[in-house]
Amino acid sequence: MPLSKITTSVNNLFRTIKINGEVMQSTYNQLTELVEHHLAVIYNDIELAQSYQEIAHQLLDTMGFKENVQITPPLRHHNNWTQEDAVLITYGDSIESPGEKPLSTLHTFLTDCCAKNINSVHILPFFPYSSDDGFSVIDYSSVNESLGDWDDIKRIASDFRLMSDVVINHCSSRSAWFDNFVKGEGPGSDFFFTASPDEDLSNVVRPRISPLLRETETAKGIEHVWCTFSHDQVDFDFRNPKVLQTFVSIIRQYLDNGVRIFRLDAVAFLWKKIGTSCINLEQTHEAVRLLRTLIEYAQPDAIIITETNIPNRENLAYLGNANEAHAIYNFSLPPLLVNTLITGDCHYLKSWLMSMPPAQNGTTYFNFIASHDGIGLRPAEGLLEDEELTVLVNTMQNFGGRISWRASENGQQKAYEINIALYDALQGTTKGTDKWGFQRFMCAHAIMLGLEGIPGIYIHSLLATSNDYERVKNTSHNRAINRHKWQYDTLKEQLDSPYSQHHRVLNAMGDLLTIRRQQVAFHPNATQFTLQLGSKIFGFWRQSIDRRQSIFCLSNICDEIQEVHLSDINLVGTDEWIDLITKQPIYATDCSIELAPYQTMWISNLPKR
């Protein structure tokens, strides 16, 4: 059956489960049929030893569904998030204390410093690993002993909504699965994708410049194993349904240990087909749809976020028709926002925001401007001109940043990622460092916190951590520059000092988060429109879903005072208005307002008396 007809059939089946807006009770058999349809798309041109029905039953059994039991389908187009949600992104050992498990120290920090304003935490891979700071997983079923154990994970999950990585494209070459592949027997022996170096692989899209195939001596002879990222990260072969079944069991285990947000790492590369680009293939999209079906039927408040560091248009496709990822990383935001603040011109950021479709209910954006990785440049392709990208790269290098490279279509090296701590990245402009670093840094976060979507704040942004050159030297990895490890006693001293950048930023960030979580117009799915206020003022308007609250978000993105004419934003004269950040009233009868360099105003109407 053609893929288009199978997809239509899946959508029709969803409609039988929800009729006229009323959720009906679904039987095990109906859910089985839905999963079968997903499998039919994924394995459409693969000859399988089992029927789709047999595989579907195995998947449902793994997720804990029982036959002859009524199942309540999840609410479609339902938002499992509000303006109160904010996610802290951190490694399990970003903060350490002597003699204490890092996950325990992290829990203490979260409770003491974050609980008032942050309700969710993304703990980056906390499993045993061999490289890539956790993203080359040796064992998916256990917690890295150097961090703690599952009890520590569950304690954090009991106080914060827990987000975990599912490193689904590849695993470590030191895993038991890959050992069995080499031996040719046991679990994992048929889990990995191989190809011949004689095949035409010229169309394959890669984020790295290392050779794609790893020559490996096995019991069956020389095999060439597919490695999208590095030769220590060997790619799975999802043409084998046992790989899918294994990851469903991993997801079930994570649910049982309190995980409620699943980050599908590097999922765009999941399905490989010789002769294609091997990225964003239809089978990959359908695999995400299948995982969404299984996860939200098993745990209705759980969500999937796809990590697809690719051009913007391709990234948007992972939202599907509110039937794929619940959220996607807004990968274009970091390079565009940093570019805006170092050039003092919001043209490109504004054009991008105007082009972004509002997320359907049941989907949203995951906004971030810093992470454990760097500032990805592929998501800026087609949005920033080559000249702008060159200026951005050169400016970041002047501020101590490093550049990671990839091979372009014509075989030349191309900048793939800027590696730099965000606090240092915003300490100046294209003209050099200046006195506005703190204001510029907070302006970036005020813009992000106001935008449609759920905000994710990297721990080293929350703490205003600077470039860690020592870690780069010790690890020889560029990304280590923004993966500092704090000693908790040292950190507490800095946070207690009113003169430190760390104290100043943590308090200012807390103030913005406190304001944000109280505004219904900042709901991730509230209406958003881009304002036309010239190149120096970046502005957008948010309106609550019930239309009772409006917020005009205005940011001066340059180092000179800027004037905004109130006639340009049309404040309703019958409403009272206030800047939520300064608490100063704004009068619709005034002609204009002034914004200091890098100042943000959140101008909101007040409830009618």
Q: In 3-state terms, what secondary structure has residue 50?
A: coil
Give the whole-angstrom CA distance, residue 322 versus residue 336: 26
Q: How far is 442 from 508, CA to CA, in rounded Å?
A: 8
- Sequence-ordered list of residues with C-beta below 8 angstroms from that of 489, at least 6 positions apart, any chain: 97
Q: Which of 598, 546, 560, 555 is nearest to 579 (CA)?
A: 555
Cβ-based neighbours of 516, under 8 Å, separated by 6 or more: 83, 86, 449, 450, 455, 522
**Bridge partners of 565?**
592
In sequence order, what are the residues at sequence separation of 6 or more whose Cβ sits closer than 8 angstroms to the Cβ of residue 475? none
Summarize the annotated binding site for substrate as residue ranges: 132, 170, 263-265, 372-373, 479
The long-range contacts involving 318-322, CB below 8 angstroms and separated by at least 24 positions, are 318/267, 318/268, 318/285, 318/288, 319/359, 319/360, 319/363, 320/285, 320/288, 320/289, 321/11, 321/360, 322/76, 322/77, 322/360, 322/361, 322/362, 322/363
In angstroms, the Cα distances linking 58 to 62, 307, 544 are 6, 27, 43
Contact 106, 148 (CB under 8 A): no
Concatenate the DSSP letters of all residues of 104-138 into one string: HHHHHHIIIIITTT--EEEE---S-BSSGGGTSBS
Q: Closest Cα to residue 260, out of 326, 318, 359, 170?
A: 326
SS3 track for 333-384: HHHHHHHHHHHCCCHHHHHHHHHCCCCCCCCEEEECCCCCCCEECHHHECCE
- Residue ranges of the annotated binding site are 132, 170, 263-265, 372-373, 479
- Name which of 242, 240, 250, 227 is nearest 171 in CA terms: 227
Question: Which single residue is written with the structure tokens 């999941």?
Answer: 270
Neighbour tally for 88: CB within 10 Å: 26
Provide CB contacts within 8 A for 492, sequence distance 6+.
Answer: none
d(CA 494, CA 63): 46
- Cite the active site residues: 265
Specify the residue for token string 């050169």: 394
**Beta-sheet pairing, 577-579 with 600-605:** antiparallel
